[in-house]
Amino acid sequence: MPNTTLSLLIIPIYPSTMSKEFLKKVVADVELAKSVFMYRPITTDCWWFAVIGGHFETFKWFCEQDTKRYFPHHAQVAAEYKKRDILDWLWDNFSDGWSVREKHLVCKMSAVYMPEWLKFKNIKNIYQLQIVEHAAKIGDLERIRNIESETGFPLEYEHVVSKIAISNGHSQIVEFANCNCEECAAKAARVGDLATLRRIYKNAPKAIKYAFRDLVKEEAVCSGKMNVIKFLIYEVGLKFTQRNFYLAVMYGYLDVIDFIHKHDPATAVFDKYCYRHITLDILQWADENAVSVSRSDLEQHSLETWKFDIYDYLQTNNPQNSSEWEDFDLDVAIATTATIATTATIATTTTIASYDNIVFGLDFIY
C-alpha cells in the first residue's frame, strides 16, 4: 500500500524543490511516484534514481509518460549497476532504434560489469566491435582476421577498422578492410595517406568520387598535405576554388598558398574574409609575389584582431606613404602656401574694386 499521508504532503511541492533523498523515497514506490508525477515533469534525477535503485516498475511507468526519451545512456547505467531486468527490457524494446555505436557502448559496459548478460543475449558480434577497434588501433591484423573468419566482418566493422587504421598509419589493415567510403577518403586526405587515397579513388563508385571535388580536397588543404593536393590537381584533374585559397590562409599553410598562386593566380585573391586570418609571413609573401592586398582593410583588421606586428609592418612598408614623403620639402611647401594666400588676397581686392566701380557707375547714371 502506498503511503497516502506522505503523498498528500508532497503533491503541492514541485519536484525540483524536493531533496534528493526525498526523491529517492518517492521513486522507490511506484504508486507514490504516479501520484507525484502524474501532472508534473519527471526530472532527470528521478530517471537516474529509478535505474540505479533498480525500481523497474517505476522506470517502466516513467517510460510510458515520456515516449520520446532516448534510452542508450540509461541502458549503460543499468549495466554498470547490474540492473538486469531494466537492461533486458530496454534492450528488447528499444535497441532496434539505436546506432551500432550506442549498442557497442552498452555491450562494452556489460562486458565489464555483467559479462554473463552478453552470453545470455547472444550478441557476441556487437561486443566484438570493441575488440576490432582495439586491434585496428594497435595494428593487430591477425586478430582482425580471426574475427572476420568468425563473424564475416559486417559492413560497420569495415568502416570502424578503416578509419582507425588510417589514423594510426596501419596500411596493411586498411588494405584488408578494403573500405571505399567517403569518410575513409576524407580521413586519408587529412593524414596524408596517399596510397589509401589512390586505392579508394580507383575502386570507389562514381558517387564516392564526387566527394574528391570538395570534401577530400578541403581536408587536404586544411591539413596542409601537399602530396595529396598535388595528387588531386595533377592526377585527378581537380581545380582550385576561392574557398580553397581562403582555407589555406585561415590555417596558415604558406606552401599551399604559394602552390595555389602558382597553379591558378586568378584564384589566389585576398578578399575581405581572408584579412582576419592573414599573418605577417603571408603578408610578406604577398608583397614579394606582387599579390594585391587592400592595405587599408588589412590595417583595420589587424587592429581589431590585435595583430600589431602586421600593423607595424604596414606602417613602415606602405609604398604609397613612402613615395609621398620622399619628395616632401618644407620650404617649398611654405612658399607655395604663401603664393596661394597672396593670389587669393589680390583676387579678393580686385573683386571688391570692381564691385565699387559698378556701384559708382550706377549712381552716376541715375
* Tens-place pLDDT, residues 239-270: 999 999 999 999 999 999 999 999 999 999 99
Residues 202-218 have a mean pLDDT of 82
The dihedral sign for the CA sequence 44, 46, 48, 50: negative
| Mean pLDDT in residue range 28-41 | 87
- Show Cβ contacts of residue 143 under 8 Å, excluding neighbours closer than 6 positions: 131, 135
Going by pLDDT thresholds of 50, 70 and 90, the confidence category of residue 14 is low
Contacts of residues 348-354 at CB distance under 8 Å and 24 or more positions apart, as own/partner, are: none
pLDDT in tens, 67-99: 777 788 899 999 999 999 999 999 888 888 888
pLDDT of residue 51: 93
Does pLDDT of 189 surpass 80? yes
Cα angle 270, 275, 280; round to 5: 95
Q: Shortest CA distance to 231 belongs to which of 212, 252, 257, 211?
A: 212
- Measured CA to CA, the distance from residue 147 to residue 157 in angstroms comes to 10
Separation between Cα atoms, residue 74 and residue 47, nearest integer Å: 8
pLDDT band at 66 (very low <50, low <70, confident <90, very high): confident
How many other CB atoms are there within 10 angstroms of residue 124's CB atom?
12
pTM of the complete model beyond 0.75: no
> CA 345 → CA 339, 348, 349, distances in Å?
10, 5, 6
Q: What does the alpha-carbon distance between residue 278 and residue 275 come to, in Å, rounded to a whole number? A: 5
User: What pLDDT is stored for residue 332 in this prediction?
Assistant: 47
Separation between Cα atoms, residue 175 and residue 200, nearest integer Å: 10
Which pLDDT does position 328 carry in this prediction?
42
Question: Per residue, what are the HEC states of the chain?
Answer: CCCHHHHHHHCCCCHHHCCHHHHHHHHHCHHHHHHHHCCCCCCHHHHHHHHHCCCHHHHHHHHHHCCCCCCHHHHHHHHHCCCHHHHHHHHHHHHHHCCHHHHHHHHHHHHHHCHHHHHHHCCHHHHHHHHHHHHHHHCCHHHHHHHHHHHCCCHHHHHHHHHHHHHHCCHHHHHHHCCCCHHHHHHHHHHCCHHHHHHHHHHCCHHHHHHHCCHHHHHHHHHCCHHHHHHHHHHCCCCCCHHHHHHHHHHCCHHHHHHHHHHCCCCCCCCCCCHHHCCHHHHHHHHHCCCCCCHHHHHHHHHHCCCHHHHHHHHHCCHHHHHHHHCCCHHHHHHHHHHHHHHHHHHHHHHHHHHHHHHHHHHHHC
Residue 9 — very low, low, confident or very high, per pLDDT cuts 50/70/90? very low
More confident residue, 84 or 210: 84
pLDDT at 331 over 60: no
Grid coordinates in use for 341?
594666400
Tens of pLDDT, residue by residue over 82-141, are 999 999 999 888 888 888 778 878 887 887 788 778 767 666 566 667 778 878 888 989
Q: What is the band of 366 on the pLDDT scale with cuts at 50, 70, 90?
A: very low
pLDDT at residue number 221: 96
- The whole-chain average pLDDT of the chain stands at 80
pLDDT, tens only, 346-358: 555 555 445 444 4
What is the structure's pLDDT at 253? 96
Q: Please provide residue 13's backbone torsions phi and psi, each rounded to the nearest 5 degrees.
A: -90, 135
The mean pLDDT of 197-210, rounded to a whole number, is 84
Residue 42 has pLDDT above 50, yes or no: yes
Cβ pair 252, 260 in contact under 8 A:
no
Distances (CA, A) of 255 to 77, 230, 285: 50, 12, 10
